[in-house]
Amino acid sequence: MEKLTLFWHRRDLRAHDNAGLNAALTANSNVQPIFIFDSSILDRLPKEDKRVDFIHDALIKLDKAYQKLGTRLWVYYGNPLEIYQQLTQEYPVQSLYTNRDYESYAKVRDKGIFEFLESKGIPFIGKKDHVLFEKNEVLKADKTPYTVFTPYSKIWKNQLTNFHHNAYPIDKHKSNFHKTDAVVWDSVYDNGFTSTNTPFNAPDFNKSIIKNYKENRDFPAKNGTTQLSVHLRFGTVSIRECVAKALEIQSETWLNELIWRDFYQTILFHFPHVEASCFRSKYEKVMWEKNEEHFAAWCKGKTGYPLVDAGMRELNETGFMHNRVRMVVASFLTKHLLLDWRWGEAYFAEKLLDFDLASNNGGWQWVAGLGRCSALF
């Protein structure tokens, strides 16, 4: 069998404008795309979870896109390291490509896979796709990371060129896909999950909403937000496409929201301790209330404060909450009920369709007054 190059989809559930996939196809022939339902992550989720349904639906659409390109998407369920041990036994794998993930679990997981593949002489190559600027690409003059958004955003914009938001081509490389009709589909629904039958909207770059975003985003009753956050979270649209639209429509406010994503990912990369503790350690001394009855009322949307309750009930029912309402309910929890921001952060992590660790963590720490500037929440 001809040597196989694997491309591993993670937070990038699309074939178009995919940096890692483009790199694999440019440098190799016989490229086979795969996705792994990571049991280490899914074992912590309820067996009915709208996010799992979103991923499943996105994978079906992705497989259809690959069929038009002459290949298929192979889907696995289990421990990624064990799956790569299996794949390297079954196929003459010559390399593995993916797009980088900056969360601590992902980095530990990827390190283990890298070391395994390295022991077999197989390179594991990661590319930048989830953000426009990563790691050390936007730094202060003294080469230290920014911890305040405004100066970070100025440098981000100064460094931006057309190269950064140009799409990566796919059609001209389609001859380099592994030609296969083989169906490998380890369904998440055959592994203990049940569909919630939730319908999902396709990504929509509504020009009117983007153009008027600054004027309308502060009013939850208005249809003033794009609701693209879940698509960015799972990569059914690319950050490059979003930035290009913001520049085309000339919406600096919407562009700033996209820059916030990069900023929070940079914070997470340079200060990984924020996943579990305060950005500034002195705020660990804050003495939070531990009233579980108040927390339960907040979670259920039964506080008696109409806007807070409406936001929480919307979250529980749909997995979505308007970004300004997120600020209101988070402020209520930390400033009125005096409950630990981590309680709210964990609840959002459980319920939000668009849950992103870096952005969720950053928003909660700012609302709690823990010393970092924010507005994305």
Q: What is the pLDDT of residues 323-366, one digit of tens each?
A: 999 999 999 999 999 999 999 999 999 999 999 999 999 999 98
112 and 141 share one domain: no
Is 376 part of any domain? yes
Mean pLDDT throughout 2-23? 97
Alpha-carbon torsion angle 232, 233, 236, 240, nearest 10: 30
**Residue among 31, 10, 28, 142 at smallest CA distance from 75:** 10
Rounded to the nearest integer, the mean pLDDT of the chain is 95
Mean pLDDT throughout 72-84? 98
**Residue among 167, 242, 165 at smallest CA distance from 15:** 167
pLDDT tops 50 at residue 272:
yes
Q: What is the pLDDT of residues 136-195, one digit of tens each?
A: 999 999 999 999 999 999 999 999 999 999 999 998 999 999 999 999 999 999 999 999
264 and 135 share one domain: yes
The pLDDT of residue 372: 57
The pLDDT of residue 315: 98
DSSP 124-144: EEEE--SSSS-TTSSB-TTSP
111 and 151 share one domain: no
The pLDDT of residue 371: 59
CATH code for position 226 = 1.25.40.80
304 and 314 share one domain: yes
Is 110 part of any domain? yes
263 and 147 share one domain: yes
Least confident of 255-264, 325-334, 368-377: 368-377
The pLDDT of residue 114: 98
29 and 103 share one domain: yes
CATH code for position 341 = 1.10.579.10
362 and 239 share one domain: no
The pLDDT of residue 333: 98
Give the three-class secondary structure for 58. Answer: helix
249 and 299 share one domain: no
Among the candidates 250, 270, 290, a domain finishes at 270
Both tokens of 352, joined, read 């939000």
Both tokens of 304, joined, read 């008696």
Q: Give the Cα separation of 315 and 299 in Å (integer).
A: 9
Q: What percent of the chain has pLDDT over 90?
A: 95
Largest CA distance in the chain: 66
The tally of domains found in the chain comes to: 3
Is 184 part of any domain? no
- Non-local CB neighbours of 104 within 8 Å, separated by 6+ positions: 272, 275
The pLDDT of residue 162: 96
Give the three-class secondary structure for 122. Answer: coil
Among the candidates 224, 255, 270, a domain finishes at 270
Q: What percent of the chain has pLDDT over 70?
A: 98
The pLDDT of residue 376: 42
Could you count the other beta carbons within 10 Å of the beta carbon of residue 75?
Answer: 23
Both tokens of 268, joined, read 């997470």
Q: What is the pLDDT of residues 120-141, one digit of tens each?
A: 999 999 999 999 999 999 999 9
84 and 160 share one domain: no
Banded pLDDT at 369 (limits 50, 70, 90): confident
112 and 4 share one domain: yes
Q: Structural domain of residue 295, as residue ranges? A: 276-377
**pTM tops 0.85, yes or no:** yes
Banded pLDDT at 1 (limits 50, 70, 90): confident
316 and 367 share one domain: yes
Q: Chain centroid to CA 57: how far?
A: 16
CATH code for position 38 = 3.40.50.620
